[in-house]
Amino acid sequence: MLQVHNLIAGYGPLTALNDVSLSLQAGARLGVFGHNGAGKTTLLRCIMGAVRPVSGRVEVDSNDTCAATVADNVRRGIAFVPQGHNVFPNLSVEQNLRIAGLLFDPSFVSQVYELFPVLSERRQQRAGSMSGGEQQMLALGMALMTRPKWLLLDEPSTGLAPVIVRNVMRRLVDINERMGVGLIVVEQNVPATLKVVQQVVILRSGQVAFAGSAAELAGNTDLWKWF
């Protein structure tokens, strides 16, 4: 389970998260929406141990991840794909994957290739010469090399053409269903994300304005009222 308990966090005098709580079963798929500045990235950073909250905690399998280091959290099975294309542009696809898995099992690369045939075809290609969509696939593959139980994604569809967005979203479902990895997907593209997540949280000024099922939100014609 992943449980966020009454999280309050910010930067100096600024409060970015104000009493945020949520609860996810292992293998759940959550979408996190909200305007710019709503606190979405801060929530991911707290879960990852990259921002220390003022109060509250995040429990993953009874460890408080907010109080731990990022490195410890990665070892315990939390992976984070920050916004943008987080690959080493001058290294090959294969080198990127192996570096990401250095502290884990490098042979897992074969399973990543099974999930992403496009990466297998391009294993010797320089990562920086691939398209944005391919680099996003590589970033996902690199995160998987750390064998996560939870995968946190910060706006994975940013800058991608609609057809590529659908492809990335489908891969996320594959990762979830085939590997049992739980997903927390922060997104601006609400319609595309609602198709692949089960639960949704909408943040507004650092507070939870909506928490419920994706189906409930998708059926709501005035869902923007929570933004």
Ligand X SMILES: Nc1ncnc2c1ncn2[C@@H]1O[C@H](COP(=O)(O)OP(=O)(O)O)[C@@H](O)[C@H]1O
State the residues that interact with ligand X by CB under 6 A.
Answer: 11, 14, 16, 34, 36-42
- Nearer Cβ to Mg ion, position 93 or 203? 203
Place of tokens 């639960």: 199
Structure tokens at 156: 């994975």
Q: Which does 184 bind (CB under 5 to 8 A by kind): ligand X, Mg ion, none?
A: none
42 binds Mg ion (CB under 5 A): no
41 binds Mg ion (CB under 5 A): yes
Q: How far is the CB of 193 from ligand X (least distance, A)?
A: 14
Q: Which does 39 bind (CB under 5 to 8 A by kind): ligand X, Mg ion, none?
A: ligand X
Q: Which does 11 bind (CB under 5 to 8 A by kind): ligand X, Mg ion, none?
A: ligand X
Asked if residue 111 lies in contact with residue 126, where contact means CB atoms within 8 angstroms, the answer is: no
- What is the rounded radius of gyration, in angstroms, for the C-alpha atoms of the chain? 17
Distances (CA, A) of 118 to 4, 21, 113, 204, 221: 36, 38, 8, 38, 37
Parallel, antiparallel, or unpaired for β 29-33 and 199-204?
parallel
The one-character DSSP state at 92 is B
- Nearer Cβ to ligand X, position 20 or 160? 20
User: What is the contact surface with Mg ion in residues (CB under 5 A)?
Assistant: 40-41
